[in-house]
Amino acid sequence: MVFSEEVSEAIRSGAPVVALESNVITHGLPYPDNAITARKVEEAVRAGGAVPATIGVEGGRILIGMTDKDIERFASRPGIPKASSRDLPVVLAQGGMGATTVASSLVAAELAGIPFFASAGIGGVHRGAENSMDISADLIQFTRSKVAVVCAGAKSILDLGLTMEFLETHCVPVVTYQFDEFPAFYCRTSGIRSPQRLDHAAVIARAVESHWALGGSGSFLVAAPIKEEDAVDSREVDSAIVDAADAAEREGVRGNALTKYLMRAVDKVTEGRSARANMSVLISTAELAGRLAVAHAQLTQQGSPAGASTPAGER
């Protein structure tokens, strides 16, 4: 791993740091909008009070924290492959460039000692998974990496009910921040009640530490909905997804290509509003992750992370 000077100093001093994926740079908007977006996301982390650490792969090394030149290089070079957690060893061995996903970013963040990660939306169990077995590597990595994940829920193109069942089965804590439902990316509501609602950053920080103190070996998921003024109506999105899924089946679109196919279909139906919503959640989750990382850093520096060592009745 190669740390940027800023990230290295922050980790050394115990300052709050938030990890970010680089897949947003390489597989999102065209250049130069992708570079501008990456910088805005980093600025949002700083607005929350933390140091951003955008992660990428280059020259057989994992970059922990990108400089402005790094972001520009990743944004302007075409053909950089997406590298999930299963791809990391191969990409590193070949010495090329790779853009990290949620799953591979969690691997790198844990190795680097960064306890918080922000993403617009996580992967999950795909619709029809009972036949296709199409389940995102994100969910598997949540069971392995001790990193708190801050997001706007899971994408509407997924089977959100089965996604929540998977997380429950694998004992991944899920809380929503100041909201009663599990959000659906660019839709505020999913119709699925959140397992737990927490309204204060300090309480979330204690819950994260308690999970790991109790022997939890994986992630802690914090979901917060998109801003109301930027949200897309869930009924409109669901109708577009059903139609697009039928078209994808007829055209034989499967595997990794299916997500992009469905997302483009939704963007077309919403006339670009879903793309704007995507930008909104990128910023809002990054800023929230920064604030939560600050609360967590303050907690751990106090020396009693979970607040559980004081016997009942003693204060």
> CA neighbours within 13 Å on the CB side: how many for 301?
12
> Which are the catalytic amino acids?
21, 155
Length of the chain: 315
Burial of 295 (0-12, 13-18, 19+ CB in 10 A): buried
Longest dimension (CA), the chain: 66
| Phi-psi category of residue 79: left, alpha or beta, with phi > 0 → left and psi -120 to 50 → alpha | left
Q: Which two tokens stand for residue 128?
A: 């029809």
Residue 118 tokens, joined: 């922000």
Q: Which residues contact 12 (CB under 8 A, 6 or more apart)?
A: none
E strands, the chain, where?
2-3, 17-20, 51-58, 61-64, 82-83, 98-100, 116-118, 148-151, 174-177, 197-198, 220-223
